Structure 1
Amino acid sequence: MRILVVGAGAVGGYFGGRMALGGADVTFLVREARAQELAEHGLVIKSPKGDATLANVKTVLSARIDAPYDLILLSCKAYDLDSAMDAFAPAVGPSTTILPLLNGMRHLDVLRGRFGQASVLGGVCLIAATLDASRAIVQMTNMHTIVFGELDGTQSARVDAIAAALRTGGFDVEAIDAIVQQMWEKWVFLATLAGSTCLFRASVGDILAAPGGQVAMRTLFDECAAVAAEHGHAMREPFAERSRAMLFAQGSPLTASMLRDIENGLRTEGDHVLGDLLARRRANQPAGAPPTLLELAYTHVKAYEARHGR
């Protein structure tokens, strides 16, 4: 199976690098500067699961794609989706499968609108990783999982084949028939974490220690979960229990990557993680409904973007 990983950043570089190290046929679609970095220094992974360096990294520029790939693994930021699609479009053929690992849900409609419904799977990744100053990939926890499946809930031969290819990387892989439900659940958790830590500019532990912090966290989680329920994806109790354990862990240093983006003056996924969820909530709310914490969190992020021109 020929696999094209779009980008070689923290997420795509980690999963693609692990697969390449395991013997999979992986090529990274990158810009020229990143291609040069990888040619000179290799793809470096620093991880509690074991450090590794992939030498002789296979890369390609968009203009030099000359044949379709079997699988496209897409892990860009949601706001880069349009440019990413333009870049990997030459790699899409009649039998190509696109596996996106983006946050939220809106990207599914965009991808299916351009490449056809049959080309796109649903997926989520569970990993905390970043690029350090030397452009090495740093995995910050032991968690490294890809969960994916057919959007219509069926089992298929292509899902089985893709699962086998992914497992060459040694990370955890789950092929499931309820991927849309899992995507909604991750969205609820992420929106709660991003909304709270960005709104209060603090970690989970700091929020919980503040007067009213636990009430605010619970309120925001309930608001996000209510949107999912209104769209037919009520939170399953095992997920809700795991989420509450992380969101209400006293002393936890946990923050969302969106807060780190704000602290570093970078662009955020506020429109895709918070704004899209809010839009879906408003669609089912009467005019003049009072503002919610979700709305305040989104306003906070948009005010930051306006001030910094993001």
Structure 2
Amino acid sequence: MRILVVGAGALGGYFGGRLAQAGRDVTFLLRPRRAALLQRNGLSILSPCGDFHLAKPRIVTAEQLKDPFDLILLSCKAYDLEDAMAAFAAGVGSKTAILPMLNGMSHLDALAARFGADTCLGGLCQISAGLDGEGRIQHFNDLHSLVFGELDGAPSARMAAIASALTNAGFEAQPCEKIRQEMWEKWIFIAALAGITCLMRAAVGDIVAAGGADLALALFDENAAIAAANGFAPRPASVERSKGILTAKGSPIKASMLRDIEANNPIEGEHIFGDLLRRAQGPSSLLRIADLHARAYEAQRARVSA
């Protein structure tokens, strides 16, 4: 199976790198600057699960992309989706499957509109990773799973082939018959974690120590009500796990969105908060505050850079 990994940041670099390490046929679609860095230094993963260095990753840029691939792993930020679709469009053929690892749900509509409803799978990843100052992928714990499935939940020949390609490749590959449910459960958790840590500018443990655990739980409950109104009420195990993370004493966890704010980078506020808020069928005051906070940050960033 020919696999095109769009991007080699923390997510694409990690999962694509592990696939290459396992001997899969992997090509990275990169922007010129990242391509030049990897051509010079190779792709490096630093991980509790084992370090890996790929001296000569197979790389293409958008201008060089000519032939279709069997599977496209899409790991871009949501605000880069339009540019990413234009970049990998030449790699999409009649039998190509696109597996996105983006948070939220709105990207599914954009991908379906561009490439057809049957092209896209559902997917999500569970990993804590980032890039260090030298462009190496740093994996911060032992969690590294990729969950994927047909959006209608039906078994298919391509799912069997994709599962075979992703299994035993140095990370946890999890085919899933209820991928929309899994995506919703991750979305409402991420919206709660990003909302509370960005608003408080603090890690979970610091918020709990300050007496703010009840606000984190209230925000999660608002999000869970939206999921339920849309037919995807979170399952009890997911609720228990999410609330446990949001209220863990001493936890250093904070959302990647907060790290982006601290670095004055673009954020996915519209895709995490805004789209979720539009799907609400009742009051969602805390989520609205989180959304307005993200919009105010983006407005300030645009004003300062103007």
Please, what TM-score do these two structures have when normalized by structure 1?
A: 0.96
Match of 2:238 in 1: 239
Deviations 1:141-162 (A, max 9, x none): 1100000100001011111111
Task: Tell me the distance in 2 between the aligned counterparts of 1:265 and 1:41.
Answer: 27
Deviations 1:136-184 (A, max 9, x none): 0000111000001000010111111111111242100110110000000
Match of 1:259 in 2: 258
Secondary structure in 1 aligned to 2:127?
A: strand
Deviations 1:18-66 (A, max 9, x none): 0001100000000122112111111000000011101111000111112
Give, in angstroms, the shift of residue 209 of structure 1.
Answer: 1.5
Match of 1:298 in 2: 291
Give the partner amino acid of 1:49: C
Task: Tell me the distance in 2 between the aligned counterparts of 1:166 and 1:277.
Answer: 30
Task: Tell me the distance in 2 between the aligned counterparts of 1:86 and 1:271.
Answer: 21
Match of 1:90 in 2: 90
Give, in angstroms, the shift of residue 222 of structure 1.
Answer: 0.3
Is 1:73–2:66 an aligned residue pair?
Answer: no
Task: Tell me the distance in 2 between the aligned counterparts of 1:243 and 1:168.
Answer: 28
Preserved contact between residue 24 and residue 168 of structure 1 (Cα < 8 Å): no
Task: Tell me the distance in 2 between the aligned counterparts of 1:199 and 1:39.
Answer: 39
Is 1:111–2:104 an aligned residue pair?
Answer: no
Secondary structure in 1 aligned to 2:118?
A: helix
Preserved contact between residue 199 and residue 290 of structure 2 (Cα < 8 Å): yes
Secondary structure in 1 aligned to 2:103?
A: coil
Give, in angstroms, the shift of residue 93 of structure 1.
Answer: 0.4
Preserved contact between residue 19 and residue 167 of structure 1 (Cα < 8 Å): no
Q: Percent identity?
A: 55
Task: Tell me the distance in 1 between the aligned counterparts of 2:79 and 2:301.
Answer: 16
Match of 1:274 in 2: 273
Report matched runs for 1:184-203 at 5 Å: 184-203=184-203
Task: Tell me the distance in 2 between the aligned counterparts of 1:34 and 1:264.
Answer: 19
Preserved contact between residue 213 and residue 246 of structure 2 (Cα < 8 Å): no
* Structure 1, 55-64 or 180-189: larger mean CA deviation: 55-64
Secondary structure in 2 aligned to 1:118?
A: coil
Stretches of 4+ aligned residues off by more than 4 angstroms: none
Report matched runs for 1:97-176 at 5 Å: 97-176=97-176
Give, in angstroms, the shift of residue 263 of structure 1.
Answer: 0.7
Report matched runs for 1:197-236 at 5 Å: 197-211=197-211, 213-236=212-235
Deviations 1:200-253 (A, max 9, x none): 111111111223x12211110100000000000001001111111111111111
Secondary structure in 1 aligned to 2:279?
A: helix
Preserved contact between residue 6 and residue 74 of structure 1 (Cα < 8 Å): yes
Match of 2:40 in 1: 40
Secondary structure in 2 aligned to 1:130?
A: strand
Task: Tell me the distance in 2 between the aligned counterparts of 1:307 and 1:33.
Answer: 27
Deviations 1:61-98 (A, max 9, x none): 11111210000000100000000000000000000000
Task: Tell me the distance in 1 between the aligned counterparts of 2:189 and 2:257.
Answer: 13
Secondary structure in 1 aligned to 2:152?
A: coil
Gaps of 5+ in 2: none
Task: Tell me the distance in 1 between the aligned counterparts of 2:16 and 2:253.
Answer: 26
Task: Tell me the distance in 2 between the aligned counterparts of 1:267 and 1:84.
Answer: 16
Please, what TM-score do these two structures have when normalized by structure 2?
A: 0.97
Preserved contact between residue 29 and residue 60 of structure 2 (Cα < 8 Å): yes
